[in-house]
Amino acid sequence: MRLRLQMRPFRLLLRAPLRTAHGRQAAVEGLLLLLRDSEGWVGLGEVTPLPDFGTESLEAAVRALGTVRLPDSLDGFPGGLGFSVQAHAPATRAGVEMALLDLLARRRGVALATLLGSPSVGPVPVNALLRGETAAEAVREARGAVASGFRTLKLKVGSASADEDADRLGAVREAVGPAIRLRADANGAWTEAEARVRLQGLLALGLEYVEQPVPAADIAGLRRLRTLLPVAADEALGLEGAPAALLDGEQGPAADVLVLKLCVVGGVIEALQLAARARARGVDTVVTGVMDGAVGRAAAGHLALALGGDRAHGLATGALLAEDPGAHPVVAGALQLKDVPGLGVPPEALGW
Active-site residue set? 156, 261
Count CB neighbours of 84 within 10 A. 13
The Cα–Cα gap between 96 and 92 comes to 6
Measured CA to CA, the distance from residue 283 to residue 248 in angstroms comes to 11
One-letter identity of residue 43:
G
Length of the chain: 352
Angle at 266 between CA 56 and CA 335, to 5 degrees: 110
